Structure 1
Amino acid sequence: MRDKKFSPTKQSAFDARYEVQKIAFGPVVFQCVRFAWKRGILDHLASSSEDGFSIEALAATGKWTTYALKVVLESCLSAGVVLLKNDRYVLDKAGHVLLMDEITKINFDFIHDVCYRGLFDLARALDEEKPVGLASLGDWPSLYEGLSSFPDAAKKSWIAFDNYYSDTSFPEILPDVFATNPKRLMDIGANTGKFCREALAYHPTVELHLVDLPQQLEMAGKTLRSAHLHERAHFHPIDLLQTELALPGHMDIIWMSQFLSCFSEAKIASILKRATDALAPNGQILIMDTFWDRQRYDIAAYCLINTSPYFTAIASGNSKIYQSQDYIRLAEAAGLKLATIRDNIGFCHSLLRFVKP
């Protein structure tokens, strides 16, 4: 992508200055709006008529102090979450979206429970290319080794974030996955096993191979066993950061979903080369991911771009949300050729299909 602009086509210096102040005070507004949401203030406002509630009426419920209400609601007012009408607070459109929109709530929880404290160390993470912010959650070399032991709130929010973005896409892409009637399918980066569960339920005879870290395979195994679909599943605990480790071979389809974005470009190149070597004759590699350059709407591109610092500070220290051309370039270097691209899957996914030329 050579040209892109998120700011308005015409913007005065005064308006630009206002936008910069929003950035400067963004963390403050985030915490105040979250307090109003989590503590039920926004819900209470939503229950009123268009007249809203005064601070005195809200304080009279005994749920919040007058001081807390003034501090938080004034910040919410500045953010357009509420409006003030005749000295009464009324829920504005953004407030209604926060209460009603599932992905907005998931994003809020993910940023607060998983990212917020760790992002304080973003500068050091960028300098060292190490996830130094992960220490805010626990003592592990990388997020993926510690995920199963995360604090409860962080684990719940991480899984909700990861699954909500991907789960909406799985049913839609299964016909693509099985278009060539594969007998052996390998999921690299099986994670919690949600895709494997869908694939095994969709195709009655496919043999499915799961590749991931031992901790992740344990979670995936629980998912498949609870669905009584584990008999056709084979588990391969492999740390793909160890570049000398080969992948199981003779695969008709190799599937990777929201996986390669967990690695640096050098590691992606290594994984793609090993995946290419693991293909059966006429085998194909399918990669589904969230590419910010292939989004229909700026709101999606905005969310994806600003997920990259999570990878830097918390997850790996050297990965990000990539552009599609990055994957295509690395795949071609591994000996693959792009066959097709399918966009607009689920919320924001694209599916890249690669073949051996």
Structure 2
Amino acid sequence: MQDKSFSPPRQSAFAARYEAQKIAFGPVVFQCVRYAWKRGMLQALADAGGAGLSVEQMAADGKWSEYALKVVLETCLSAGAVAIKEGRYVLDKVGFCILTDKITQINLDFNHDVNYKGLFDLERSLDEEKPHGLKALGEWPTLYQGLSQLPEPAKTSWFAFDHYYSDTSFPDILPDVFATAPRKVMDIGANTGKFSLATLAYNADVQMHLVDLPRQLAVAEQNLQAAGVRERAQLHPVDLLDDSIALPAGMDVIWMSQFLSCFSEAAIASILRRAAEALSERGQLIIMDTFWDRQQYDIAAYCLINTSPYFTAMASGNSKIYQAADYVRLAEAAGLRLLTTRDNIGYCHSLLRFTRAGDAGV
């Protein structure tokens, strides 16, 4: 992979200074554009079409004051969300994306409802490697203990963010999971059980083992029961940060999706070591995750890189979006070897397939 660069190779000093001001006023722009979207200003301009609307026209029905319109739309103008045409505001390309692009909307909600207040404590979180911003949502040592108890709208926005990135990938990877005809599959970091449900529906003979914190497994169990497949799944409530707890052995496939990024490198090393010990002979560990260095498009890399501060301030204090080479290095230290890598799955996922280093003929 080539080294990643997000700026034009011949960007002038003046252009760079303009970009720097966008960073300085980023929180202001975020809030104003979000307000224009949530309160219907952008939709009103979309409905007006190319003719656009004046501030006076938009204020006529009393939905917004002229003052609010001027403040918000002028910031939207600076962000490319709207334009001015013959004295009237019209929707511009950025505004169109906000109104129509699902991932943009999910990212806006995630950053506003989950992260915004907590990111004020990012500096302290980075210095101490603890999620000090999490107190904006609740009193838990990490976000994962409180995931099922998050207040609204943070809970809805968190799960929408998490599921959008993973759900777009599940239909594409089930043949990879069953490439070796596994009978026992372990889903580590099972969360609400979405992958396990998809796996059980895909193959009538597979036995699933779900590993996660007790509160997450309680939700997964409800979903398994509702789907009528509870008897084909075993639940293992485990705090994976406890290095002394072994994982159930004899697994043909161990699956981890968007899971290891929730942990520090030291914790990842421990989890991978225990996963290697839990594999059956010639069993395989399959990791699906979002690696910012393996993205085809800059837009995906940008989103992923800028998700890392959420892990710092809100989730755990010491995890991030990693590069693929980080996982490979830690897996090799845990006694695993990389078999294959597959990129461009779903929105931005890659699939790493490992086996134990000593297993021959795989």
Structure 2 gaps, min length 5: 358-362
* Residue 273 (structure 2) pairs with residue 273 (structure 1): yes
Give the match for residue 306 of structure 1: 306
Give the match for residue 52 of structure 2: 52
* Residue 171 (structure 2) pairs with residue 171 (structure 1): yes
Give the match for residue 104 of structure 1: 104
Q: Which moved more, 1:317-326 or 1:60-69?
A: 60-69
After superposition, what is the alpha-carbon deviation per residue over 1:2-58, rounded to whole angstroms, capped at 9, x for unaligned? 732110011111000000000000000000000000001111110012010000000
Matches within 5 A, 1:303-342: 303-342=303-342
Give the match for residue 63 of structure 1: 63
> What's the offset of the Cα at 1:218?
1.1
Conservation of the 8 A alpha-carbon contact between 2:300 and 2:348: yes
- Provide the TM-score with structure 2 as the length reference: 0.98
Structure 1 stretches of 4+ moved >4 Å: none
- Provide the TM-score with structure 1 as the length reference: 0.99
Provide the identity percentage.
69
Inter-partner Cα distance in structure 2 for 1:96 and 1:15: 25
Inter-partner Cα distance in structure 2 for 1:19 and 1:133: 27
> What's the offset of the Cα at 1:228?
1.6
Inter-partner Cα distance in structure 2 for 1:310 and 1:336: 30
After superposition, what is the alpha-carbon deviation per residue over 1:159-215, rounded to whole angstroms, capped at 9, x for unaligned? 000000000100100000011110100000001111011000001010000000001
* Residue 240 (structure 2) pairs with residue 240 (structure 1): yes
Give the match for residue 88 of structure 2: 88
Q: Report the secondary structure of 2:255's partner residue.
A: strand
Inter-partner Cα distance in structure 2 for 1:132 and 1:2: 35
After superposition, what is the alpha-carbon deviation per residue over 1:234-270, rounded to whole angstroms, capped at 9, x for unaligned? 1000000011010011000000000000000000000
Letter in 2 for 1:264: S
Q: Report the secondary structure of 1:217's partner residue.
A: helix
After superposition, what is the alpha-carbon deviation per residue over 1:257-315, rounded to whole angstroms, capped at 9, x for unaligned? 00000000000000000000001111000000000000000000000000000000000
Inter-partner Cα distance in structure 2 for 1:342 and 1:3: 19
Inter-partner Cα distance in structure 2 for 1:316 and 1:171: 29
Give RMSD over aligned pairs. 0.8
Q: Report the secondary structure of 1:95's partner residue.
A: helix
Inter-partner Cα distance in structure 2 for 1:236 and 1:142: 20
Inter-partner Cα distance in structure 1 for 2:2 and 2:52: 48
Letter in 2 for 1:249: A
Give the match for residue 121 of structure 2: 121
After superposition, what is the alpha-carbon deviation per residue over 1:303-355, rounded to whole angstroms, capped at 9, x for unaligned? 00000000000000000000000000000000000000000000000000001
Inter-partner Cα distance in structure 2 for 1:24 and 1:257: 35
Conservation of the 8 A alpha-carbon contact between 2:132 and 2:313: yes
Letter in 2 for 1:280: S
Inter-partner Cα distance in structure 2 for 1:178 and 1:2: 32
| Matched length | 357
Inter-partner Cα distance in structure 1 for 2:72 and 2:323: 38
Inter-partner Cα distance in structure 1 for 2:340 and 2:203: 23
Give the match for residue 360 of structure 2: none
Structure 1 gaps, min length 5: none
Conservation of the 8 A alpha-carbon contact between 2:4 and 2:293: no
Q: Report the secondary structure of 2:139's partner residue.
A: coil
